[in-house]
Amino acid sequence: MDFKDSPEEAAFRAEVREFLKQELADDVRQPDESVLGVGTGEDPKDMEWLKKLATRGWVAPAWPKEYGGAGLPVTLQFVYNEEMARARAPRPNFLAIGLIGPAIMVHGSEEQKQEHLSGILSGDTYWAQGFSEPGSGSDLASLQTRAVEDGDDFVINGQKIWTSGAHRSDRMLVLARTDPDAPRHKGISCFVLDMHAPGVSVQPLTNMADLHSFNEVFFDNVRVPKKNLIGELNRGWYTALTTLAFERSSIVNAISLQQLLGEVVEATRPYRKGGASALVRHELADRAIETHVAVMLSYRVASLQAKGLIPIQEASITKLYASELGQRIARTAMSLAGLYGQLGPDSPYAPLLGRIERMYRIQVGATLAGGTSEIQRSIIAQRGLGLPRG
């Protein structure tokens, strides 16, 4: 790995830092638990931040310039993401920017591009991703939501679950089975669905930390015009997997974990009066070293991409390591704070304004969201070690 910036990267890093210094207000910065699924751009203030990013073309740095992005290569994307993470800048509408926009950009018609892409960049249209179902999570190709042709429409019936932000979304990129007799991956189509259409209902799912970001979404004879089919009929699986040349280092998560640990150390200092025992010092040292390892794994992914390589198993290693590290940090924080760590934000005695208690509960799902640890280990075993499918 090369840890030194090229002249171009150094100049761009300085530009991003100066922009953040001038434009990022303190009340917009995200708390450290944004790495745990909190503070991912749903606050109204984040939309004002998005408009500031738009002045530089930085809302979607990987998008081509002709579609309103910055057209940055992966190395400059890495620099951009690293500096944004260190400044704790929010990431508004990130699902639409990272997944839905590219799918429309690559597979959509010119009319669909004109209709949807500008709203993503401006923040005027908020999107949800309709993929997972109660019986189709890690095995997404087993999804059962159906879309049946009827005149000029498709009629969709079924259910989605763990749908982030559906309660405030205007549109959804939804996968539905259009050919039940085809092989699993080849009978699925991809649609843009109006979340305000008749037959769409959203039920909140509150997580273990009493936070509402997930939802169940039900479709009861929802009519979707055929013009809202993205890509080819029965080829939606491949449409939905489309990305651009995104850097995949997860540097945002790694840096957020590093910052989170620093706050935990400071917040629990009053509960270690008289100095920390050797055991506590060793545990904190372990967590500090591990956060540096997480950053180094992210640098490795970026270095591979800079050489034109595709870091499949390396990205899985990075995700697996960071999610399990987040759980270890949460356990350490709760252990250091003792009974005070169980206090919520309503208590004046709660360290970190009650965030330790919330972090501890949120982290239970860290090794499930974004691809379970089991899935990541399977990718590492098969792609990285060449082991047969078990």
Could you give all domains of the chain from N- to C-terminal order, each with its CATH number?
A: 7-92 (1.10.540.10), 127-239 (2.40.110.10), 251-384 (1.20.140.10)
Greater confidence, 39 or 299? Answer: 299
Q: Hey, what are 175's tokens?
A: 């996968």
Length of the chain in residues, anyone? 390
Q: Read off the pLDDT of residues 217-276 as tens digits, 9 standing for 90 and up.
A: 999 999 999 999 999 999 999 998 887 778 788 999 999 999 999 999 998 888 776 666
pLDDT-derived band at 138, boundaries 50, 70, 90: confident
Q: Is the model's pLDDT at 115 over the cut of 60? A: yes
Residue (of 27, 29, 38) closest to 360 by Cα position? 38
Instruction: Return d(Cα 377, Cα 254) in angstroms, integer.
Output: 19
Marked catalytic residue, from 133, 247, 314, 357: 247
Instruction: Return d(Cα 103, Cα 206) in angstroms, integer.
Output: 29
Instruction: Return d(Cα 269, Cα 248) in angstroms, integer.
Output: 35
For the question of residue 247 being annotated catalytic, the response is: yes
Report H helices in the chain. 7-23, 44-54, 74-86, 94-95, 101-107, 110-122, 236-240, 251-267, 278-306, 312-337, 355-362, 373-379
Q: Read off the pLDDT of residues 295-349 as tens digits, 9 standing for 90 and up.
A: 999 999 999 998 989 898 999 999 999 999 999 999 999 999 999 999 988 999 9
pTM, rounded to two decimals? 0.87
Q: Region of 158 please: left (phi>0), alpha (psi -120 to 50) or beta.
A: left
